[in-house]
Structure 1
Amino acid sequence: MKSFDAIVIGAGQAGPFLAARMVEKGMKVALIERKFLGGTCVNAGCMPTKTLVASARAAHVARNSAAYGVNIPGEIAIDMKVVRARAETVTMNARNGLIGWFAGMDGMTVISGHARFEDPKTVSVNGETLTAPRIFLNVGARPVIPDLPGVNDIDYLTSTSIIHLDRLPRHLAVIGGSYIGLEFAQMYRRFGAEVSIIEHGPKLASREDEDISDAIADVLRSEGIDIHTGASDIAFAKSSDGITVATDSARIDASHVLIATGRKPNTDDLGLEAAGVITDKHGYITVDDRLATNVDGIWALGDCNGRGAFTHTSYNDFEIAAANLLDGDDRKVSSRILAYALYIDPPLGRVGMTEKQARASGCKIMISTRPMSRVGRANERGETKGFMKVIADAETKKILGAAILGIEGDEVIHGIIDAMNAGTTYPALQWSVPIHPTVSELIPTLLGDLKPV
């Protein structure tokens, strides 16, 4: 049996950085990863997909260049092998960077293999047994495949496998109208494929307010994407030249199908029962406000704990655990103000409550909206789709939430994220003097238009 001061299972966006911090403190740490260092973000999520988004945007800008007085003769051709290779290069550079970083750390032992608990302090991997007083789980999540008729009879794609495509689909059917599905839908439409989105619910991006969901649908439809919401009785069958996707109201002749109906935690094969670690009905590991499980000495970080589904929330889990365990601090998950982005183009930047959540909270609220067509930067760039929205508490004057669907919305939202984290009231933020001409310069104006509802 090999003994360590800590064992980290999973090398996503929390575990490796926590392991590195512990090594800096002189601890002996084992980092176990059964596939690739970097987790979903580096290998099948943010980095490769946003690289693909960038390629798709380049194609979109090129096709529309004549409106800017730039004439590109001939048809805009997409070389999917180059597109794929570019995304793979970004992934490999990041993965190899982690390999080199860990190789230079005394006290770090990186093990490639599948770890399982033997008891609360012991795990087995590759026929070896390791023990430590502290064990951290950062095992991530994977795509969910719903039990739909015919799904096992077709060669479907997931968010993991689609990034390896090196040829353009004739017609991509996207099952699921949430964030992953929407990004791939627009991306492949811009590459030149016909694209259909099939969503069971009544709206796309269902966690957003209806006005945001409707605006997202308008953006996608304007690019020629076919959207089917409220779809039921979804079924698949092989056809002579691809896959038939049938719903209660539509029949789609697709060449490829992307299943984008959510993700589930990678907790079903860790031997958690041997350690006594509790999970909820969906398989997420139950943790307290400091990310500790019900078993002393075991913590769960990142997607597998159900307390956040983003790279930045996973990294923040590392920050919370490191602050509490290594720095004598007392940080809590409940102090986190959730923010995220949807990387369609234009992007959606979101923070805090939606209007629906704010109304349900019982607060007296104020709301302001402003179309992107009234933003100078948007007009100069010729990208005026979308709008800004902010919600505030009428009594405390605190900002409760905001959404910016528009050019640079994923960056502009950070001004509001920072204000909310600092506890700044909206009247104080109104007096900031932003740079002109930017999208951010409209934030004081947006706040100035807040009205009770």
Structure 2
Amino acid sequence: MKRYDAIIIGFGKGGKTLASDMASRGLKVAVVEKSEKMYGGTCINVGCIPTKYLILEAAKNKYKNYTSFVQYKDEYRRIIENKISLISTFRKKNFDNLDSKENIEIFTGEGSFVDAHTVEVKSKDRTFNIVGDKIFINTGAQTFYPPIKGLKESSYIYDSEGIMELKELPRSLVIIGGGYIGLEYAGMYKNFGSEVTVLEGSPVFMPREDKEIAEEVKKVMQNKGIDIRLGVKVTEIDGNTVIFEKDGKKDSLSADAILVAVGRKPNTEHLKLENAGVKVDERGAIVVDERLHTTQTNIWVLGDVHGGPQFTYTSLDDYRIVKSELFGKGEYTLKDRHVIPYTVFLEPQFSRVGLTEEEAIKNGYEIKTSKMTPASPRMKISDETEGLLKVVVDAKTDKILGASLFIAQSGEVINTIALAMRTNQNYQVLRDGIYTHPTVTEILNDLFGGLELL
């Protein structure tokens, strides 16, 4: 039975970065990955990289003036083939990056716990055990399937991973779930040429976001022809037909494809955590302390599987926490992580950091806000004037409490605001910043300058 200084279950961002670091320090590391199609983790294979590639390619379609659905189908097929090639390149590079290191051994198979130090690996042709002094779980999350009658039996059902493997563009698409993943796919497939309907259970669109921003997002998406229905309860799937209730009335929609996008859950089903004495919470996430230890002190968790924000960059930050403990002074923990921005790749992009106006008021802040439409020179040049921006500032201290940006390239701009918040700057730093012209970032001059008018 082989023994390692560390076993890492899962080939995600945090795990692969930790494996490389440990190996460079002379430690012997085993990396266990269930699928050869997941080398590099969710982001590279089925998450941010392929989806953002498809979103960008789909956005180009609106300029091509296709006159038939066949043209859309041919273009879609070409783009999917390109996506497959792109992801294969990324996957191979990630595998080679670890496999080329002398102290790393990669096992392709399903890993599960025998005890707190022993992991069983089930590969295609054999089952064997390996032992590790330290074990790190980095298995990510998976699609949550709601208990809807007929859902599992329907051949028209896809999750966010499976639908990207379709080489034939669906003429019509029903998306169950109006969260961030569902909305990204709605915009993508509408641009590809599909007729898209979103069925959302909540009566409120984007309920966690600023109300004014959310209303603007809905308006822009509806203007693009996306059918958004709120307060909908899906009761049954009958083949390619979605049966649902709204306002007490039954209705149905048929489609070429049905995307389930109601959320993701920690991927722990096959780990046999009970054998290692590792506990999970009521949502199935692995319980961790501020240093990402599980209930077994020699077992850590990185990434989505511990139930935190499901972003590649927070998984990378989990690696920094572990690194701080193992190879530093242990000064960095989960308690030190704050001001985490995020972007939803709609058209235009929606980005958020910190508190909304409603949240700030609820938390007892005396606030002032500024909002504006993206009417900057850069936006006018590129004809990207859709959207709305809003910032929330503490009226007593001038500290930035939050920002919501629904504008083109907001994913770049939000990082500047987050940096100012993270370093505890007053809003005047952004108001008076010197930015290159004409760029999207210079809109911060006007956005934060609007606070002076209050």
TM-score range, shorter chain: over 0.9
Deviation (angstroms), 1:243: 2.4
Question: Within 2, Cα distance between the matches of 1:151 and 1:434?
Answer: 51
Specify every segment of 5 or more residues in structure 2 that has no aligned partner in the other structure, as ranges.
Answer: none
Q: 1:340 aligns with which of 314, 318, 342?
A: 342
Once the two structures are superposed, residues 327-382 of structure 1 have per-residue CA deviations (whole angstroms, 9 ceiling, x without a partner) of: 3341122322211100011001211222222222212222111111x222112211
Q: Is the 1:369–1:388 Cα contact (8 Å) retained in structure 2?
A: yes
Q: 1:73 to 1:84 in 2, by over 3 A?
A: closer
1:355 matched residue in structure 2: 357
Question: C-alpha displacement at 1:114, in angstroms?
Answer: 0.9
Structure 1 stretch 138-147 or stretch 224-233: which is displaced more? 224-233
Conserved? CA contact 1:204–1:216, under 8 Å? no
Q: By how many angstroms is 1:293 displaced?
A: 1.3
Q: How does 1:401-412 map to 2 (within 5 A)?
A: 401-412=402-413
User: 1:246, CA displacement in angstroms?
Assistant: 3.1
Q: Where in structure 2 are the equivalents of 1:42-441 lying within 5 Å?
A: 42-63=44-65, 77-79=72-74, 80-126=76-122, 127-155=127-155, 156-238=157-239, 242-248=240-246, 249=249, 250-336=251-337, 337-372=339-374, 374-441=375-442
The percent of aligned pairs where both chains have the same amino acid is: 35
Q: Deviations over 1:284-337 (max 9, x none)?
A: 011112211121111111000112211111111112211221233411223222
Q: Deviations over 1:25-51 (max 9, x none)?
A: 110000110012112111111111111
Q: Aligned partners of 1:188, 1:109: CA distance in 2, in Å?
A: 40
Q: CA 1:289 to 1:450, structure 2 compared with 1: closer, same or farther past 3 Å?
A: farther
Residue identity opposite 1:331 in structure 2? Y
Paired AA for residue 221 in structure 2: L
Tell me which moved more, 275-284 or 126-135.
126-135
Contact 1:365/1:392 (<8 A) preserved: yes
Note if contact 1:81-1:167 (Cα within 8 Å) is conserved in structure 2.
yes
Q: Distance in 2 between matches of 1:381 and 1:344?
A: 17
**Partners of 2:23 and 2:29 within 8 A in 1:** yes
Shift of 1:430: 2.1
Answer yes or no: is the 8 Å Cα contact 1:349–1:411 preserved in 2.
Answer: no
- How much has 1:206 moved relative to structure 2? 2.6
Distance 1:166 1:12, change over 3 A: same
1:49/1:87 contact within 8 Å kept: no
Aligned residues: 441
> For residues 169 and 132 of structure 2, what CA distance do their matches in structure 1 show?
49
SS of aligned partner of 1:4: strand
Deviation at 1:268, TM superposition (A): 2.1
- Cα separation, 2, equivalents of 1:181 and 1:296: 38
Q: Structure 2 vs 1, CA of residues 434 and 361 (structure 1 numbering), >3 Å: closer, same or farther?
A: same
Alpha-carbon separation, structure 2, partners of 1:233 and 1:100: 44
User: Is the 8 Å Cα contact of residues 47 and 87 (structure 1) preserved in structure 2?
Assistant: no
Structure 2 counterpart of 1:200, one-letter code: G
Q: 1:57-109 CA distances to partner (integer Å, 9 max, x unpaired)? A: 1102333xxxxxxxx99996442221111111221111100111112201101
Aligned partners of 2:348 and 2:22: how far apart in 1? Answer: 40
SS at match of 1:115: strand
Q: Cα–Cα, structure 1 residues 445 and 434, in superposed 2: closer, same or farther, change >3 Å? A: same
1:68 aligns to what?
none
SS at match of 1:11: coil
Deviates more, 1:388-397 or 1:218-227: 388-397
Separation in structure 1 between the aligned mates of residue 68 and residue 31 of structure 2, nearest angstrom: 52
Distance verdict in 2 for CA 1:150–1:449, change over 3 Å: same
| Contact 1:171/1:193 (<8 A) preserved | yes
Give the Å deviation of 1:173. Answer: 0.3
Per-residue deviation, residues 371-420 of structure 1 (Å, max 9, x unmatched): 11x22211221111111111112223221111110111111111101111
Residue type of the alignment partner of 2:195: E
The one-letter code sitting in structure 1 at the alignment partner of 2:11 is A
**TM-score, normalization: structure 1?**
0.93
Q: Measure the CA separation in 2 of the matches of 1:294 and 1:393.
A: 39
- Letter of the 1:170 counterpart: R
Aligned counterpart, 2:16: 16
Give the drift of 1:204.
Answer: 3.0
3-state SS, counterpart of residue 133 of structure 1: strand
1:237 and 1:160 map into 2 onto residues whose CA distance is 22
One-letter amino acid of the structure 2 residue matched with residue 20 of structure 1? S
Q: Select between 7-16 and 211-220 the one with higher mean Cα deviation.
A: 211-220
Greater shift, 391-400 or 262-271, is seen at 391-400
Q: Secondary structure at the match of 1:425?
A: coil
Distance 1:325 1:394 in 2: 42
SS in 2 for 1:93: helix
Distance in 1 between residues matched to 2:67 and 2:132, nearest whole Å: 64
State the alpha-carbon separation in 2 of the partners of residues 397 and 84 from structure 1: 48
Q: Do the aligned partners of 1:367 and 1:451 also contact (CA within 8 Å) in 2?
A: no
Question: Shift of the alpha carbon at 1:149?
Answer: 2.5
Distance 1:233 1:45, change over 3 A: closer
Structure 1 unaligned blocks of 5 or more: 64-71
Deviation at 1:451, TM superposition (A): 7.0
Alpha-carbon contact 2:303-2:318 (below 8 Å) kept: yes
Residue aligned with 2:206, SS = coil
Cα distance in 2, alignment partners of residues 179 and 151 from structure 1: 21
Per the TM alignment, residue 228 of structure 1 is displaced from its structure 2 partner at its CA by 0.5
C-alpha change, 1:409 and 1:61, in structure 2 (3 Å) is: farther
Q: Which amino acid aligns with 1:118?
A: V
Q: In the aligned structure 2, how far is the partner of 1:88 from the partner of 1:190? A: 20
| Residues 370 and 387, structure 1, Cα contact 8 Å, conserved in 2 | yes
